Amino acid sequence: MQRLTGIGVSPGIVAGRAVILIQREQVLRYHVPASRLDHELERLQASRERARQQLIGIRSGVAERRGPDIASIFDAQLLMLDDPMLVPRAAELVRQQRVNAEWAIQRVFQEFSAVFDEIADPYLRERKGDVADLVGRLKMNLRPGMATPRDALRELDEASVLIADELTPSLVAQIDWTRVRGFATDAGSRTYHSAILARSLEVPAVVGLYDASRVIQPGQLVVIDGSASEVIVDPGEEVLARASGQRDDRTPAAGPAHERRGPAVTADGVQIRLDANIEFPDDLAAARYAGAEGIGLFRSEFLLTSVTPETAAVGGGLGLSEDAQYEIYRGMLEGMAPGPVTVRTFDVDEDQLARPLADGWVADAERAGRQGLRGLRLSLARPELFRVQLRALLRAARHGQLRIMFPFVSGVEQIREGRRMVEEAAAELTRGGHPPARVPIGVMIEIPAAAYTADLIAREVDFFTIGTNDLIQYCLAVDRADARVSDMYEPLHPAVLRMIVMARRAATRARIPVSLCGEMASDPALLTLLVGLGLTDFSMTPAAIPTARKALAEIRAEDFRALARRVVGLPTAQDIQRELDAALDGLVAGKKT
Ligand code: PEP
Ligand code: MG
């Protein structure tokens, strides 16, 4: 039995067989003695033959499900498998430098990359992703028992727990979550995308474990205890009994249906709006069940990583067609009516766009560039994708209460350009005889520059949504996926609270609605302080809504406004936390007496 400690991000305890998923393997170089050279070369050949069989299998499966166009991606990879510059070149390095096969193959990839990076043609440059995929596969095959991400996902069954080095958004979109009992990742912090997802699915999860994907072997029995922030490998009887005893208790604490409708109300009668953050249209049911008044944030990214045979043929495989998107938006608007649905336009970065399908994973650069060409910036740089999304949205608008929101906005020019594109799409539809309804256009306040210029931005938009997940990380310069600095990611840092107040005030002065959709709102204690800061609209993971409703019913907004006035002047997050804790303890004590 071995215990690994990380950050519990979604409560509950489950046991299952480990499926290991590794995307970014660190390759070590070691010397191979002369007597082992032949063995090393055989490993390399065996890895190639295994890759060939896997690719042939995947190609025929994909051809069946998604048509021959997509399947042809794997023809290219099969051809590369026999390229003299790949495996034979790696074999040459093994022989000449007496190095291990993993390192040799990685080295060959670096040589390839350098060549690809110099190619001006963007199509050819993107083929680097194919090579990266293939090299990833060869490296996985050198570790027996280790699956590639695609194969690992296929191995999942109802008895599985998923152990990954990192769960990237494109991968998350491909997982059949009904088959995952729980998951654990090496990377991550509380606001990591997959952590947010785990909470909404109510799947126990622990992140920030550093090396779980290395320590745990495929098929090993593992207990994931999200409540205790632990992963237990080869658990004893007692731990297993605890896991099996609790499995069925994980039902949402939503309470009776009549208590779940309409706004939440504080003890002194202030109405607080609770909307839901969702990632997939299927989450709508959870949002409604939890009593959300509307969808405050629909992260539309999965529409870019999804693909249907016809869109693959038409758009080179990048995202769903206008009609397919229209159907999805329409379904959500009708499903949530009369509540509003706020669709955030695509918030991906350039690297995530590079290869959204095939294996659904971008071998090298998925996490790089999160401050780069991303969100609205990328939509403006790729107008052909943005236009399709906007047209689909505007067409769907008449089926409910739609709001369009631009992510990752740092300045007014981008907003004007984004709005211009909305107007253009609307004019096109009008010319075609289908004038769309007027749709409110808002922005996420999630970059410090936007918070600082919230007064200027407020004149240009119809609403604000404060995205504290990104705002905190950029305000404090703490990467939210990096476990090493996760304790510096402080929602209560005075700088963060001041930025929230700035955005809230600017919205109030401009008389536009403002809500807050970061994970911060899912924590009932932080939520009470946010109410104290004057916010009355929130959007959160559906599972957090019932608890938020209960917590709000117990506080007086007036008391927390007084508290907020006191704490914004305090120098550290710890000081603020102490005051907040004292206020909440006072509430509990008050109830006891
Ligand atoms: C945010 O940044 O607060 C947010 C809600 O968006 P995401 O977590 O999708 O970046
Ligand atoms: Mg964000």
- pLDDT digits 0-9 by tens, 217-237: 888 999 999 989 999 999 988
d(CA 168, CA 494): 30
Report how far ligand 1's centroid is from the alpha carbon of 446 (Å): 8
* Residue with more model confidence, 264 or 357: 264
Report the mean per-residue pLDDT for the chain. 84
Residues 440, 403 contacting (CB under 8 angstroms): yes
What pairing do the DSSP bridges indicate for beta strands 13-21 and 7-10? unpaired
* DSSP string covering 15-28: EEEEEEE-SSPPPP
Report how far ligand 1's centroid is from the alpha carbon of 466 (Å): 9
Nearest CA to ligand 1 atom 6: 467
Those residues whose beta carbon sits under 5 angstroms from the ion ligand 2 are 446, 467, 470
pLDDT score recorded for residue 258: 46
Ranked by mean pLDDT, which of 116-130, 187-201, 246-260, 492-506 comes out on top?
A: 492-506
d(CA 579, CA 589): 15
For residue 275, the one-letter residue type is: D
d(CA 265, CA 279): 27
Q: Mean pLDDT throughout 14-23?
A: 87
What is the helix, strand, coil percentage profile of the chain, to 5? 55, 15, 30
What one-character DSSP code corresponds to residue 444?
A: E
Task: Give percent above pLDDT 90 in the chain.
Answer: 47
> How many of the other CB atoms lie within 10 Å of CB of 155?
16
Nearest CA to ligand 1 atom 8: 469
Looking at the annotation, which residues are catalytic?
193, 517
* Residue with more model confidence, 98 or 319: 98
* Residue with more model confidence, 386 or 154: 386
What does the block give as tokens for 200?
């909404």
Q: Is the dihedral of CA 283, 317, 195, 351 positive or negative?
A: negative
Pocket test for ligand 1, best of 469, 472, 523, 540 (most atoms within 8 A of CB): 469
Nearest CA to ligand 1 atom 4: 467
Residue 383, preceding bond cis, omega within 30 degrees? no
pLDDT score recorded for residue 330: 92
Nearest CA to ligand 1 atom 7: 469
> How many of the other CB atoms lie within 10 Å of CB of 510?
18
pTM of the model: 0.62
What are the pLDDT digits (tens) for 74-125? Answer: 788 889 899 988 999 999 999 988 888 888 998 888 888 778 777 777 667 6
Residues 512, 544 contacting (CB under 8 angstroms): no
Alpha helices for 67-168 (secondary structure H): 68-81, 87-97, 101-117, 122-126, 128-141, 149-155
The count of C-alpha atoms lying within 13 angstroms of the C-alpha of 576, restricted to the half-sphere facing its C-beta, is: 26
What are the pLDDT digits (tens) for 268-307? Answer: 999 999 999 998 887 887 888 889 999 999 999 888 766 5
Report how far ligand 2's centroid is from the alpha carbon of 90 (Å): 41
Residues with CB under 6 A from ligand 1: 297, 299, 347, 446, 467-470, 517-518
Task: Give SS3 for 337.
Answer: coil
Report how far ligand 1's centroid is from the alpha carbon of 468 (Å): 7
Instruction: Give one word for 164, left, alpha or beta, with left for phi > 0 and alpha for psi -120 to 50.
Output: beta
Confidence of residue 310 (pLDDT cuts 50, 70, 90): very low
Confidence of residue 170 (pLDDT cuts 50, 70, 90): low
